[in-house]
Structure 1
């Protein structure tokens, strides 16, 4: 939200209180509080009729400094709050002199000037990373009498900002106004399904604004040299998160807000959907599954979209008897073909659903202030909203889902959850503004925890559209409703990169696009992108996404990239373990892996899949693609062709190819199978070295798809010979390859 008219003036009706010189500092056990009157105090009379800005500095976790800016503190508590994993035992050093007050945790220090006006410096060691200066803090009253608090943190020369959720516009957020407010806006607007009040800076830090309600960011768009964020109310809390690398920031941020859960091995395989408004029944499903098998296309999951239920009844969780007369038998037959089953759900209860009256009578639906059930006709006629702040409503809703699990369903696509009203009353008294974004967290948490309870830890997975801070704990998330064009493919990738910059470890998208029917060229190019993402789903709106509906070449392209992904499962599984353990996403912006390379700062048409594989999707019908190769000798994953960077490269690729390059010196473990994702990844593994350096030695850890120990190898390269030694765990067979030539192993 903008408050100024240019740099010097305020907008009409706006007034601002700003902290002047610090009047006093009060230390406490874990931090200190600064009292700064709005103006200079030259005598006792200046203390009268003088507002005071109160700013508390504290440290909720190692390498994190929290700041709370407040004016009047007598307001009623507002719920909900983000659930943060704080650490009250870590080392915090407070030092107050006559000139400064500072708080240090790890290598991060917040230093407040106590004389000569308002200034707060945030330093990594001795290096200034950002600052709050004289005009940064504002207690604002707007033209309608509403109160706001803003902070502005300095942006350095060349500093770039990323994240703020899954945003489909420019990947670098500088110059943008970003509203943290979940919306069902598709992928072609400034709105976003997944809004996260956290940004990652190329200067080696992150900032998390600890407010679930609407947060407005002006990223160098109100004051060019500052990143402003503001909330309505009398206080603002934010956390500066130390680096110095983007990975360090993401580790600390996800330690504070939650790490992604492990997901089952089978979820990494290919998912095939009925699509949305297409006509389908069990015969259609069987034809699709048969068609995939006949064409030797490995399939892991079959997804039933909305119309598995009767029209106007969404959701009642009852199979449409006209199209699926024997759901238990059908699910059993799909399981006999070694397939998992996903069904579409959402938290909206149509008036025609039998659940509406159940929920109304029990008080499980969100209500208007007069006690009536909140309803509207957008999406489903007379639909209501499940109140997930009511524990009994959660048990009621998940109890209906458990019936489906007992029937044979394996997981859920948790669609919607963005259009949440703000003129309603919640069971637990939550503030409606704060619940708008937070609803997505409660909704996906309820479903994910049911799956963990019923299927076991590590066996739960959802396909979620809406999210906010903390939602990364309940994977997987997909990119929502995009069009079926190359432009939409590029905007989807930008959304995924932004979400990865916001602490989300896994991400997917609709292969071929959702709206419309893709041209065969778009579909085939999207296949390559989709199978080189963490999760891969064929899904559309009004048309099927089986490859033979496009052309026979699409069948071959899908087979090629599906088998490539499945053969990469040892590498992908290790990458996924890093996402779960450290909060480092599987699909990574180039800036995350190469923060010191200036060319990486603006790259949004390529990414790193894990730490060692560079992917540049082809976004044109003619196969031409231009991408950036960082320093060193990079090797094409499949062909073995080598490129030396740093360099910009333009190439032309057929539909069965795209730039997939391996980092110099990397060891990529290839699995022995390419027909399914859930095999023993360490058995028969091929450890392939790419452009190794003389004397190179490194450990390669391959997890197990189940409860086994996995395997750990020590790989060495000396005198032109590569060797691998099993140093932990189990592997029935393994061998090493350098540039496609077997040189040693067992």
Structure 2
């Protein structure tokens, strides 16, 4: 994509219209209104342009008090606490500061004639297209921008924030996007920027064809709406971002267990057979998914009506599965086949997106021989209408139509798709499909999430959906899984990077398809390594075209999977504590190295290793043979396989047998573990712990558990205290820590 700077009018802020308690407003050289406001310490908003299009509630924060001062003609400072935003009027530009030091600012790359190579802020002459450009230091990495499967560091890349059915994890296309990026800074503090829009955003992040020393955005919307963040560290940026766009809620305990699925179980008997076999073979599991057309007629697909030929008694069939202590998940998408009488009913009610002439918009799928994704197993989807979630009545109808499914015994919905809104569709709220496209999955998943809240059993657990597509704010309606990876080693590596990138974009939960979704049947080695990595993610699912259950890979593989799944279930008390942190800070369960250790350059480029919470360093094996290089961050680390202590600040060349996997406990931290169970219903909610591992002398408190805690004693030192039913194991021969029954 070529960016022509001459195609944009460069903006000046020519006159102040005055100040308020939360900011100021200015006239600009293009006649557009510039509004500057504060949303808390280190969070500033610059909005330029009209305000006539629908607001989709992407941000939930409110403007907060700040101070505004004009330092000299054409120069203003907006301040809140230790952060400030300095504006210059000619040309319009900014400097974002923390504790008096600049952490982010407008472009400094200049043309021979003195003006900047790209506009600091520019607008297309006819409006509707904007650009802004920011300065980057040499070598400064940039992270975020949603679920992206390539390098975590976006520096040098041209990236499109546009929700797409990516058909894999091998390109720049992705299902979950958010135009939010951040950098670790140069030592003065971290920075972040969110382009607040439902429109497509193109990011040239040090892209050499634009400017290798600048980060520029091109925004397809009526206004340019930028939100700038400053904080001491990247964790503070995610905290501020998720305060602004909404925290992720808690997820139900059962969702942290294993989900088993395939494309697809052809009959209820197939699904019931797998459920029985899981229990017979002692494979811990909590959820069985009826995916795709497993429950619905092929001709009409999803319409809230079970396929009567296969499910004459759906309630009874689901009850048989649930007897195995499994939750039932069923698949849906937000489209209605033209072959279904429901299409006519919804069209007459005005509940479908329309054409410019007021007719129901009919979406046709790609069936061209050279490009179609459909084949023998994934058969072509029917031409369909698209539910218009901008219509409050349509939203309520779709939400409430789920009541019968939950009454029949469904526990959770897999809300698939949502990426297909065409540019020329027209919505009830007046937006064209081009502007609705990216937020459509947000509205769709919100609708299904609210249906789950309304109709699921009143068991005290929070709601959850298993969704694929997302945009800014999608963390409010968890969770998202990583789409359809290819069944090979690169598919595994890309899935890990996609999850880490999504986590660096304010979304704490993620899962991928163990073994990959499509392609050749995975080898036993690939399947095991994928499963081992997934054990340490927020959510874990076996899924793909064809069988994905462990026993199909042989007795040895099944035994290894059973071992690691047992450890996954032992981890659940720890994972729940990490989830609790995520809901109050925005930190993901899987934390990429630049997020967990922003000041450690050694580990920064190890882009498939991650922290699971604060305690565990996970180094997935993403190549055949069992070898991996591991960068140990500063401190000391205990190998969970050997209990050997290694000093940080070094790179290990590690080789693991198939039943082993490189995971390290962080010295000074504790790992609470529960019993090995067959499903989460066997966890004693009042006494979930069986064991407490202390990696050396405790250096960090542990709370949130009635059975064990680490707190400071009267001597000022940290001590571990545990009830008699919790065994405490101290790694590394540390002293000064004891078990004290209470």
Same fold (TM > 0.5): yes
Name the SS for the 2:439 alignment partner: helix
Kindly provide the CA deviation profile for residues 181-214 of structure 1, in whole angstroms up to 9, marking residues without a partner as x. Answer: 1110121111111110111212101111111111
| 2:693 counterpart (672, 688, 699) | 688
Aligned counterpart, 1:449: 450
| 1:271 counterpart (252, 259, 276) | 259
| 672-681 or 161-170: bigger deviation | 672-681
| 322-331 or 679-688: bigger deviation | 679-688
Name the SS for the 1:321 alignment partner: coil
Name the SS for the 1:168 alignment partner: coil
CA distance in 2, matches of 1:631, 1:268: 30
Aligned counterpart, 1:460: 463
Name the SS for the 2:649 alignment partner: strand
Q: How far apart are residue 21 of structure 1 and its match?
A: 7.8
Gaps of 5+ in 2: 108-114, 366-379
Q: How far apart are residue 583 of structure 1 and its match?
A: 1.3
Kindly provide the CA deviation profile for residues 685-738 of structure 1, in whole angstroms up to 9, marking residues without a partner as x. Answer: 422110226xx4623323xxxxxxx5662356999x995336xxxx78334220
Q: How far apart are residue 353 of structure 1 and its match?
A: 2.4
CA distance in 1, matches of 2:230, 2:707: 33
CA contact (8 A) 1:139 1:234 kept: no
Aligned counterpart, 2:299: 312
Kindly provide the CA deviation profile for residues 371-414 of structure 1, in whole angstroms up to 9, marking residues without a partner as x. Answer: 21111331522211111111221222222211010000000100
Kindly provide the CA deviation profile for residues 426-476 of structure 1, in whole angstroms up to 9, marking residues without a partner as x. Answer: 112234322101101110001101111223564311110000011111111
Aligned counterpart, 1:575: 578
How high is the TM-score relative to the length of structure 1?
0.89
CA contact (8 A) 1:18 1:139 kept: yes
Q: How far apart are residue 28 of structure 1 and its match?
A: 3.1
Alignment of 1:406-421 (within 5 A): 406-421=407-422
| 185-194 or 225-234: bigger deviation | 225-234
| 1:554 counterpart (557, 575, 579) | 557
CA distance in 1, matches of 2:17, 2:104: 22
Kindly provide the CA deviation profile for residues 155-194 of structure 1, in whole angstroms up to 9, marking residues without a partner as x. Answer: 1232111111101112111111111111101211111111
CA distance in 1, matches of 2:296, 2:248: 31
Q: How far apart are residue 240 of structure 1 and its match?
A: 0.5
Kindly provide the CA deviation profile for residues 588-630 of structure 1, in whole angstroms up to 9, marking residues without a partner as x. Answer: 1111110111123322111111111111111122111112111
Alignment of 1:492-531 (within 5 A): 492-516=495-519, 517-531=521-535
Q: How far apart are residue 580 of structure 1 and its match?
A: 1.4
Q: How far apart are residue 561 of structure 1 and its match?
A: 1.2
Aligned counterpart, 2:375: none
Q: Does 1:618 align with 2:621?
A: yes
Q: Does 1:77 align with 2:87?
A: no
Equivalent pairs counted in the alignment come to 700
Aligned counterpart, 2:729: 737
CA distance in 2, matches of 1:206, 1:139: 20
Aligned counterpart, 2:373: none
CA distance in 1, matches of 2:253, 2:120: 48
Alignment of 1:210-289 (within 5 A): 210-221=196-207, 222-273=210-261, 275-276=262-263, 278=264, 280-289=266-275
Alignment of 1:591-610 (within 5 A): 591-610=594-613
Name the SS for the 1:251 alignment partner: helix
Alignment of 1:166-185 (within 5 A): 166-185=147-166
| 326-335 or 466-475: bigger deviation | 326-335
CA distance in 2, matches of 1:504, 1:495: 11
CA distance in 2, matches of 1:464, 1:697: 35
Gaps of 5+ in 1: 5-9, 38-50, 703-709
Aligned counterpart, 1:66: 45
Change (3 A) 1:18 1:243: same
CA contact (8 A) 2:689 2:707 kept: no
Change (3 A) 1:744 1:30: closer
| 197-206 or 28-37: bigger deviation | 28-37
CA contact (8 A) 1:166 1:498 kept: yes
CA contact (8 A) 2:58 2:472 kept: no
Name the SS for the 2:635 alignment partner: strand
CA distance in 1, matches of 2:176, 2:3: 26
Name the SS for the 2:434 alignment partner: helix
Name the SS for the 2:241 alignment partner: helix
Aligned counterpart, 2:120: 137
Change (3 A) 1:96 1:388: same
| 1:109 counterpart (61, 84, 89) | 84
Q: Does 1:26 align with 2:18?
A: yes
Change (3 A) 1:697 1:322: closer
Change (3 A) 1:609 1:211: same
CA distance in 2, matches of 1:114, 1:280: 65
Q: How far apart are residue 328 of structure 1 and its match?
A: 1.2
Change (3 A) 1:140 1:523: same
Change (3 A) 1:36 1:391: closer
Q: How far apart are residue 347 of structure 1 and its match?
A: 0.3
Q: How far apart are residue 57 of structure 1 and its match?
A: 1.8
Aligned counterpart, 1:46: none
CA contact (8 A) 2:573 2:689 kept: no
Change (3 A) 1:638 1:426: same
Change (3 A) 1:666 1:532: same
CA contact (8 A) 2:506 2:586 kept: yes
CA distance in 2, matches of 1:97, 1:491: 49
CA distance in 2, matches of 1:279, 1:329: 17
Q: How far apart are residue 232 of structure 1 and its match?
A: 3.1
CA contact (8 A) 1:80 1:430 kept: no
| 222-231 or 482-491: bigger deviation | 222-231
CA contact (8 A) 2:276 2:324 kept: no
Q: How far apart are residue 233 of structure 1 and its match?
A: 4.7
